[in-house]
Structure 1
Amino acid sequence: MRSRRKRRVWLGVLAAVVLSSGTPALDRAVRWAGETAGLPSPVLPAPLFDVLRPAATFQASTPANPATERAMATLARVDRRLRHTRYQHRTHVLEARGVYRWDCSGMVNWVLARSSRRALRGLGRERPLAMTYARVITRAPTDTARRGWQRVQRVADVRPGDIFAWESPARFRRYATGHVGFVVQAPERVRDDLWAMRIVDSTTGPHQADTRSWDMVGGTGYGTMTFQTDAHGDVIAYGWWGTRSPAYISARVVFGRPR
């Protein structure tokens, strides 16, 4: 989602969902749009009228431990001071001036450096990437923490300050190694296999109910995404535009809790 062209493509997908849901034509249209927009495949059409589903409402919730509480406090401080933000791969922060320029992993690295240095060291890289987070969280135990990380197995157990991450397919990594950000509200179940989450990340493409504009400059902002689960409760796809997503992008999304 890095150009107006990609936005127009997805608006076309939305029209296709309404006009041809449940048909082979829709499946072909959505997959074509994903490839045109430079997204990892496969891209899965949303169920009929899913895009008409009302926005999720989130209940007040609290972080699960002191590290995630510190992460939320750090994010709140960024939000209060924010005057200028931009998506870029080199992290450049001037807190006193409210300047925050970074990509998704740069933002998470910066916050962890101020909330859980143990978790940051546990990533094992000087400059962790989204792919790094996805791999470390996938290997983390679910019953305790190891090297500063605990994997949250059930989506229902995700809490503010937890981190979501996924790894891009190998052929897509020249665009991005994946994506990573913080969950800021406990998830809301919107159907049996779909959860909405309020998140904060750094990106050029806004989510549903996003605090960023469509100027393609991007940077830090809050928005809503949805995550689709399989019969075992594992997340198998995400909806970039929350309950308004015309399609879901297949990905193994994991949730980790810094300690």
Structure 2
Amino acid sequence: MKYAILCSLLWLTHSIATPLSLSDEVFQEAQHILQTQQESHYDHKTVINESKGYYRVDCSSFVCHVLRKKSPLALAMLPIDVHHVHARAQNFYDYFKQLESVPNAHWMAVKTLFDLERGDIIAWKYDLSSHKKDTGHVVIVAEKPIQEEQTLYRIRVIDASKGKHANDTRAKESDGIGSGDMWFRVNEKGAPIGLYWSSKEKKERQHFIVMGRVQH
């Protein structure tokens, strides 16, 4: 009995003494917004009223809002395009790509998909030939990747989007902030090279994909 009590006290002491990592704080903030939002919409014009739980955001303004609350220094490192007020998906991509060769104190590159942790950020950039209006997409990792095939992993993400993922929390006719499952294809080095937005039965999308982790 005394041994069991001692073990419980040691575990409690360890839990109190071990603070959350910054990336885990990013996840917790995104999860808090997901659970407490009253209304959200996907829009490139950002309007946020936290007291009312109202969010009108796109994928990048949502992630920037989370970073602003948890790591404004890391957010300040991200480049911003001319005539824009926050980093967009392509800026996340370009910055994370640069991290692979030039790391810094605020961010680190995550080079292999199976090393992702909660709160890490995945960004991909659309090829200019696709003629898409958006520059790409950016999501926050909600759960560690689960391997389903030799080169295919399922990941639960939190994002702001128009389209829904598999097992999505967004209502049928709604968009905005939600959580759902995506699948990512990796190469022989474990780096992501393709994705399935909502179903493995649909065509795999090939994009330039990178990953980053906030550290300070």
Range of TM-score over shorter length: 0.7 to 0.9
Rounded Cα–Cα distance in structure 2 between residues aligned with 1:73 and 1:159: 12
Count of residue pairs the alignment pairs up: 193
Native 8 Å contact 2:57 2:176 kept in 1 = yes
Deviation digits for residues 84-130 of structure 1, max 9, x if unmatched? 01000011111111111100001001000011112111112241000
Aligned position for 1:255 = 211
Rounded Cα–Cα distance in structure 1 between residues aligned with 2:99 and 2:175: 31
Identify unmatched segments of 5+ residues in structure 2.
1-18
Shift in CA distance, 149/245, structure 1 to aligned 2, threshold 3 Å: farther
Shift in CA distance, 173/161, structure 1 to aligned 2, threshold 3 Å: farther
Identity of paired residues, percent?
26
Residue 191 of structure 2 is aligned to residue 230 of structure 1: no
Give 1:65 deviation, angstroms. Answer: 6.3
Aligned position for 2:123 = 165
Give 1:136 deviation, angstroms. Answer: 0.5
Native 8 Å contact 1:185 1:197 kept in 2 = yes
Rounded Cα–Cα distance in structure 2 between residues aligned with 1:141 and 1:174: 26
Residue 171 of structure 2 is aligned to residue 213 of structure 1: yes
Native 8 Å contact 2:139 2:159 kept in 1 = yes
Partner letter of residue 228 of structure 1? R
Task: Give the TM-score taking structure 2 as reference length.
Answer: 0.83
Give 1:174 deviation, angstroms. Answer: 4.4
Rounded Cα–Cα distance in structure 2 between residues aligned with 1:246 and 1:140: 32
Aligned position for 1:98 = 53
Structure 1 residues 170-209: aligned runs within 5 Å: 170-172=128-130, 174-209=132-167
Partner letter of residue 84 of structure 1? E
Residue 38 of structure 2 is aligned to residue 80 of structure 1: no
**SS of equivalent to 2:212:** strand
Aligned position for 2:14 = none
Partner letter of residue 221 of structure 1? G
Deviation digits for residues 24-49 of structure 1, max 9, x if unmatched? xxxxxxxxxxxxxxxxxxxxxxxxxx
Give 1:81 deviation, angstroms. Answer: 1.8
**SS of equivalent to 1:222:** strand
Partner letter of residue 155 of structure 2? M
Give 1:224 deviation, angstroms. Answer: 0.3
Deviation digits for residues 147-186 of structure 1, max 9, x if unmatched? 6221111111100000000001113354110000100100
Task: Give the TM-score taking structure 1 as reference length.
Answer: 0.70
Rounded Cα–Cα distance in structure 2 between residues aligned with 1:253 and 1:158: 13
